[in-house]
């Protein structure tokens, strides 16, 4: 028997007990559209802070929403390009209207209020607005000198890119600051291409591990080969530093590529990964 219409479900959501409303909003993430905007706009006035903030985040995924237009208007008053530099005038206060739209007034420990409000304003502004507002492409903006507030603006753009799932911005931001969260926005093949280039040109450190952790499994041949070579390279200089990398390789490389590792080198770290991949491949064949 068919369920109630979506509009009916939304109305029932308004009448749910306060403790259920935040969980109910989680269900709207799937198939979100502008048809959900009236319900989410009303949720901005909910008594529960978690309900208000989740509604704001969902509305941020709808660039044509009223919230998106309000944020665009705020950004227009705060940003301007002059002589090839991005000038920023951060908010002087977090007023009631900003707070209703999801701007949290109290910053985390160690961060100033203005920077915190600015970062959130940027993260809630539709990414398409920036080209029209400032007359520059994402590539140009990401590479542009930001006067005084560069860290906050970049962090806001990263958050906006993840929420709005914008591949163009993810590509440009990753080139500037390789963050694992940005990879998840890109198609699988592009994730692997960017990660492969990063592994080849970067030493083994926490950032490399985080980037690899952002690439969907199973990893294909080129990325796997690059990781195997990195394991071999580091095994000769810092063998004690290989634990996380070999663990990731054993878990994320396509098990069918065990032969690639076996043939590469007799070095123990490579052969240990190869043995784990062969075991996984055998198990998958048994279960198929």
Q: Tell the residue number behind the tokens 């961060």, with chain if given.
A: 111
**% of the chain exceeding 90 in pLDDT:** 85
Please check the confidence at residue 1 and state whether its pLDDT lies above 60.
no
Residue 122 CB-density burial (10 A; 0-12 exposed, 13-18 middle, 19+ buried): buried
Predicted pLDDT at 17 = 58
Residue 286's SS3 state is helix
Residue 4 confidence (pLDDT):
46
Q: How many CA atoms lie within 13 A of 105 on its CB side?
A: 10
The helix, strand and coil proportions of the chain, stated in percent and rounded to the nearest 5, come to 70, 5, 30
> What is the C-alpha end-to-end distance of the chain, expressed in Å?
35
- Rounded to the nearest integer, the mean pLDDT of the chain is 92
Q: Write out pLDDT tens, residues 172-227.
A: 999 999 999 999 999 999 999 999 999 999 999 999 999 999 999 999 999 999 99
Are 136 and 128 within 8 A, CB to CB?
A: no
Mean pLDDT in residue range 226-243: 94
pLDDT of amino acid 128: 94
- 156, burial (CB in 10 Å: exposed 0-12, middle 13-18, buried 19+): buried
The band of 11, judged by pLDDT with boundaries at 50, 70 and 90, is: very low
Q: How confident is the model at residue 18 (pLDDT cuts 50, 70, 90)?
A: low
Average of per-residue pLDDT across 98-102: 95
Q: Residue 266: pLDDT above 50?
A: yes
Rounded CA separation 227/218 (Å): 13
H or E, element range at 146? strand 145-146
> Residue 277 is encoded by which pair of tokens?
């991949």
Angle between the N-to-C axes of helices 188-201 and 221-235, in degrees from 0 to 180, rounded to the nearest 10: 20
pLDDT digits 0-9 by tens, 143-159: 999 999 999 999 999 99
159 CA to centre of own chain: 6
Q: Which pLDDT score, from 0 to 100, does residue 189 have? A: 95
| Res 9: pLDDT | 44
pLDDT confidence band for 50 (50 / 70 / 90): confident
Confidence category of residue 29, pLDDT binned at 50, 70, 90: confident
Average of pLDDT values for 9-24?
Answer: 58
pLDDT in tens, 115-174: 999 999 999 999 999 999 999 999 999 999 999 999 999 999 999 999 999 999 999 999
Query: Distance between CA 103 and CA 59 in Å, rounded?
Result: 13
| pLDDT for the residue 26 | 78
Name the percent of the chain lying above pLDDT 70.
93
């Amino acid at each position: 028997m068919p369920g109630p219409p979506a509009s009916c479900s939304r109305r029932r959501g308004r009448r749910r007990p306060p403790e259920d409303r935040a969980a109910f909003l989680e269900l709207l993430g799937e198939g979100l559209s502008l048809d959900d905007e009236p319900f989410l706009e009303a949720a901005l006035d909910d008594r529960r802070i978690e309900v208000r903030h989740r509604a704001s985040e969902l509305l941020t995924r709808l660039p044509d929403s009223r919230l998106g237009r309000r944020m665009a208007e705020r950004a227009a008053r705060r940003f301007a390009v002059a002589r090839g530099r991005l000038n920023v005038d951060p908010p002087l206060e977090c007023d009631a209207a900003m707070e209703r739209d999801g701007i949290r007034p109290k910053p985390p420990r160690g961060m100033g209020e203005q920077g915190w409000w600015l970062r959130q304003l940027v993260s809630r502004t539709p990414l398409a607005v920036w080209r029209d507002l400032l007359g520059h492409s994402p590539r140009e903006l990401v590479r542009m000198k930001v006067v005084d507030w560069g860290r906050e603006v970049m962090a806001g753009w990263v958050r906006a890119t993840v929420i709005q799932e914008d591949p163009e911005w993810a590509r440009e931001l990753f080139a500037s600051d390789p963050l694992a969260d940005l990879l998840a926005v890109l198609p699988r093949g592009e994730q692997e291409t960017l990660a492969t280039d990063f592994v080849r040109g970067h030493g083994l450190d926490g950032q490399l591990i985080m980037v690899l952790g952002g690439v969907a499994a199973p990893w294909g041949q080129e990325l796997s080969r690059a990781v195997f070579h990195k394991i071999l390279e580091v095994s000769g200089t810092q063998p004690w530093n290989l634990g996380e990398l070999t663990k990731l390789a054993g878990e994320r490389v396509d098990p069918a590529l065990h032969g690639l590792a076996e043939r590469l080198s007799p070095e123990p770290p490579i052969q240990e990964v190869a043995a784990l991949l062969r075991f996984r491949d055998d198990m998958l064949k048994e279960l198929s």
